[in-house]
């Protein structure tokens, strides 16, 4: 039986999405190389599954959905390889993590501090915050991307914001402990 040819994904939209995918992946993984691996895998998966993309709908949101799934699976795999976690440990995303900060990129020390606080958020809260605040996706789109109910989107967002606020309250700006990567 001959394979039915699928329509290709729109090249300009795909290329336009890459910088955003990379940025999101960097905040997720905290590592430039791992982020690019994640984006590469996401693009490969998008081509494989292009039949599932409804032409005319937002390609970027669909790519974020794929990337989220790839990321979750990679993390599960990495956890399994590294350590045998206790079975009942849901333990999602509480690992210590730092966003690579390049001093020259930031004009204000608050930005470095903010990124450090964001890096300490649990992954699931970081994801929601990034998608809402930086990618400016609608809450319904975020729910689809992450495969969670919209109520969960809202509660994670509230918790993320509360944590950021408390973090700034606990550590007044200009504290000497900041580490800047040159």
Q: What angle do CA 29, 35, 41 make, to 5 degrees?
A: 120
Map the footprint of other proteins across residues 51-110, applying CB under 8 A: 51-52, 69-70, 73-74, 76-77, 80, 84, 87-88, 105-106, 108, 110
Distances (CA, A) of 26 to 136, 165, 166: 17, 23, 24
Tell me the window of 17-25, 53-61, 174-182 that interacts with other proteins (CB under 8 A): 17-25
How far apart CA 73 and CA 93 sit, in angstroms, is: 13
Query: Pattern 123-162, binding to other proteins, x per CB under 8 A?
Result: ------xx-xxx-x-xx--------------x--xx--x-
Q: Return the structure tokens found at 141.
A: 């789109």
Give the C-alpha separation, 1 to 102, whole Å.
54
Closest CA to 38 of 12, 18, 10: 18
Cβ count within 10 A of residue 112? 20
Q: How far is the CB of 118 from other proteins (least distance, A)?
A: 7
Site residues (vs other proteins, CB under 8 A): 1, 3-5, 8, 11, 14-15, 18-20, 22-23, 26-27, 36, 39-40, 43-44, 47-49, 51-52, 69-70, 73-74, 76-77, 80, 84, 87-88, 105-106, 108, 110-111, 114-115, 118, 129-130, 132-134, 136, 138-139, 154, 157-158, 161, 164-165, 168
């Amino acid at each position: 039986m001959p394979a039915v040819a699928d329509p290709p994904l729109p090249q300009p939209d795909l290329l336009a999405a890459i910088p955003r995918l990379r940025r999101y992946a960097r905040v997720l993984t905290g590592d430039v190389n791992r982020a690019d691996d994640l984006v590469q895998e996401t693009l490969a998966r998008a081509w494989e599954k292009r039949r599932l993309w409804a032409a005319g709908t937002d390609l970027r949101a669909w790519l974020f959905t794929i990337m989220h799934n790839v990321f979750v699976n990679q993390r599960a795999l990495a956890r399994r390889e590294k350590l045998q976690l206790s079975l009942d440990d849901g333990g999602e995303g509480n690992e210590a993590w730092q966003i690579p900060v390049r001093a020259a990129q930031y004009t204000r020390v608050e930005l470095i501090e903010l990124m450090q606080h964001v890096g300490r958020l649990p992954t699931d809260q970081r994801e929601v915050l990034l998608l809402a605040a930086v990618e400016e996706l609608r809450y319904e789109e975020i729910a689809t991307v992450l495969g969670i109910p919209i109520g969960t989107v809202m509660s994670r967002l509230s918790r993320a914001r509360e944590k950021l606020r408390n973090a700034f309250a606990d550590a007044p700006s200009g504290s000497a402990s900041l580490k800047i990567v040159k």
